[in-house]
Structure 1
């Protein structure tokens, strides 16, 4: 399996995070913020029911939502665009204009005004875009960090194990990326960050993954970049089982 570069671009105005090669899993949700109800943009045959008042397809209850997410992951199905909401009663208070705004959000992949609705009290809007992009609006952008931390562990594990024999060598286990490192990298997300696993290299037991600014130039995601343009490195020491971060100080 070839190496895959990660892409993260945070829009601080609308509070959405655009990503590529970072999937979405149940474990990414903070425990107290797991959706209790969601509105689906698409009608799935096996999940949810139509609400007669709004004609939205709904999945109600955290357990049913969890089954939907897990089934989609297991069957490698595309998850519908969705938005969460707290109570059915308040959702029924949506005006025709607000319903139109939600439908526009689902189909245009952008908000007319805001992606966060007072009557829904939603914390997320999940959208899938062309070219493998994923766009999630976060009421609290810190909720993205667990996704980033998990993705880094997954891809670093693949990097460490890419040359190991399937049968004769024990697979290396990568420790969790510390939250403090995710928080240190986070300010760079606004610039469009490529976590450059394709140009990662090893020195002794230390694995260096370059960081590059690509803004919204997605063609740069699969192209090698000059080492002088790297803005830093995320490093994993497989002997010490420890992560570290090195950033170039003379860059904005």
Structure 2
């Protein structure tokens, strides 16, 4: 059964397609993506959306969002759009000279959520292609530079923990703890798991006074996220394949492969 937008925040599924430079994911939302990688995004050409404040571009017959309006888009309930797809671009003038073949490829991307050829265009100088259905439920994101994807994951795990985990302090009051980003070295260790289809469960985090442990399972390749979640629920009753561990004393992350 499909979870609500807020019900998916504490489980992250990642299936990395390194050669084609895209990632299938569940649990990472546009607002989180933009908070972490937004500085890399100059403007957005909307391929599928319901944003009412976009600017119409007559040559492509598509709407776009210039940098000053991106903050408004981030505040939108893009989950409620259903399909939400975009590609970033550097200069509006570049849209004026896009050839019909390129426009057709962009429409195909937005409609089918797949590429006819590598979707990185010299005219647009784009870094990303973002293709979502029920944003945060099913996301397919292309990265020109996969280091930006690893940076996103490192930051978003720490951010989710900071938002979701409250610890009791003196007098029984709850205090919010912030966590440093995961390190690139740990991402390198987990890369093979991500290639196979990895789920990381913040909702099943276990902690004591000294450390915090986030379980990780390898569950395989899914494009249907209902099926993925069912498999996660079965797997999560078993011993995890790895644990992401935060040492509260040293404030450092480590990974334990089981």
Please give the TM-score of this superposition, normalised by the length of structure 1: 0.81
Paired residue for 1:222? 233
Structure 1 unaligned blocks of 5 or more: none
Give the SS at the match of 1:80: strand
Partner residue, 1:148:
153
Task: Give, in whole Å, the separation in 1 of the partners of 2:80 and 2:14.
Answer: 23
28, 40, 45: which is aligned to 1:39? 45
In the superposition, the TM-score normalised over structure 2's length comes to: 0.80
Partner of 1:179: 184
Structure with higher strand content:
2
Q: Does the 8 Å contact 1:6/1:20 carry over to 2?
A: yes
Q: 1:103 aligns with which of 89, 101, 107?
A: 107
Given the alignment, which residue of 196, 200, 212 partners 1:191?
Answer: 196
Equivalent residue for 1:212?
217
Match of 2:54 in 1: 48
The residue aligned with 1:112 is 116
**1:48-127 map, 5 Å:** 48-60=54-66, 62-69=67-74, 71-72=75-76, 78=81, 80-127=84-131
Equivalent residue number for residue 27 of structure 1? 35
From 242, 246, 250, the counterpart of 2:256:
246
Aligned length: 241
Gaps of 5+ in 2: 1-5, 223-227
Structure 1 residues 191 and 37, CA gap change in structure 2 (3 angstroms):
same
Please provide the CA RMSD for this pair. Answer: 3.0
SS in structure 2 of the partner of residue 68 of structure 1: helix
CA shift for structure 1 position 140: 0.5
For the 8 Å contact 1:39–1:83, the answer to whether it is kept is yes
The alpha-carbon deviation at position 164 of structure 1 amounts to 7.7
Change (3 A) 1:80 1:204: same
* Separation of aligned partners in 2, 1:173 and 1:8: 23
Structure 1 consecutive aligned stretches of length 4 or more whose deviation exceeds 4 Å: 75-79, 162-165
